[in-house]
Amino acid sequence: MFVHHHRRIDQRRSSRSAILQLVSAAAIATSVMLAGGGAAAQQEAGPADGPSDGPRLNQPGKDVQWVPTPPALVEKMLDMAGVTPKDRLVDLGSGDGVLVIAAARRGVRSRGIEYDRGLVDYSRRQAAEAGVDHLTRFVRGDIFKSDFSDATVVTTFLLPSMNLRLRPTLLAMKPGTRIVANTFAIGDWQPDESAAIEPCERWCTALMWIVPARVGGTWITPKGDLILTQRFQHFSGTLGRDPIENGKLRGETISFTAGAAHYTGRVDGDRMRVSAVVDGEAIEWTARPRPPR
Ligand SMILES: C[S@@+](CC[C@H](N)C(=O)[O-])C[C@H]1O[C@@H](n2cnc3c(N)ncnc32)[C@H](O)[C@@H]1O
């Protein structure tokens, strides 16, 4: 208990200090923007800690400053998402383009959305130098005003408050879309996977969420009504008279226990198809949402 308590405090402290590392310059950026200082004032911020024609570490950004994801974590995030050339990746607040370019090196069509014009130009040059500009696109824009609903993989290295603001948009994406973040959570939406790289000093953890199919409501099934209450990738409810246990979604894949049956299956929009083995016998059924009265 004592150890757990201290570990929790340590975790809180380290997550607070991580946020501070990203947040400090955001306040400066906001005051610069409000004062109409713009890009010239941004150039002055932070130590010269990169190539002379490139961005400056910790330079202010619109809602958060620029700090790049370390190369080892970039690869971990892409591994965790399991990207393939069939994917379309978008990095929200793409900085110097490191994630977009690394994904393109794996044959993935990738796009960065970045508010800072200098970073957008720099990323384009970097992509051309890496020979992947045919697979990359860098758009100058505000992530909160951009449409990225076509992406199958979303990457972020943003403040927790920004992740939370994006959450409704992310949850409305196509079920199965993978969201991979450097370090920071999306409120109380628990990640489906997380892993840390070692050895690592700072920015060591990749977190992944898979947009769950939307199943809340009443479904008509041959076993009676399936009434579900959903919270992110978890759900509870009843099937006929039986309570639902261990209700879980991983994208479109669904699993739950009801009565003696452990069901697994898929949700494809307004059709749910599940199967189970009960007393050695395979059963399978399809459910449809009950139309609103
Ligand atoms: C912490 S850096 C991460 C850069 C990159 N994604 C990476 O992982 O290396 C955050 C980036 O978001 C950009 N940014 C901040 N607010 C933004 C907004 N509202 N719209 C677009 N980009 C933004 C900053 O300029 C900065 O480059």
Query: What are the pLDDT digits (tens) for 166-218?
Result: 999 999 999 999 999 999 999 999 999 999 999 999 999 999 999 999 999 99
| Residue linked to tokens 């994006």 | 166
* pLDDT-derived band at 55, boundaries 50, 70, 90: very high
First to last CA, the chain: 51
Fold of 2-210: Rossmann fold (3.40.50)
**In this predicted structure, what is the pLDDT of residue 14?**
59
Query: What are the pLDDT digits (tens) for 77-136?
Result: 999 999 999 999 999 999 999 999 999 999 999 999 999 999 999 999 999 999 999 999
Residue 186 DSSP label = B
Calculate how far, in angstroms, residue 261's C-alpha sits from the geometric centre of ligand 1.
47
**In this predicted structure, what is the pLDDT of residue 36?**
29
Contacting residues for 36 by C-beta, under 8 A, at least 6 apart: none
Calculate how far, in angstroms, residue 100's C-alpha sits from the geometric centre of ligand 1.
12
Calculate how far, in angstroms, residue 160's C-alpha sits from the geometric centre of ligand 1.
13
Got the DSSP string for 232-251?
TTEEEEEETTEEEEEEEEET
Report the range of poorest mean pLDDT among 2-11, 43-52, 133-142: 43-52
Contacting residues for 212 by C-beta, under 8 A, at least 6 apart: 171, 175, 230, 232, 233, 249, 250, 251
**In this predicted structure, what is the pLDDT of residue 54?**
83
* Euclidean distance between CA atoms 21 and 8, whole angstroms: 20
Q: What are the sequence ranges of the domains in the chain?
A: 2-210, 217-289
Residue 93 Cβ contacting ligand 1 at under 6 Å? yes
Residue 264 reports pLDDT greater than 80: yes
Percentage of the chain beyond pLDDT 90 is: 80
Nearest CA to ligand 1 atom 4: 95
CA–centroid distance for 108 within its chain: 17
Among the atoms of ligand 1, which is closest to the Cα of residue 63? Answer: 16
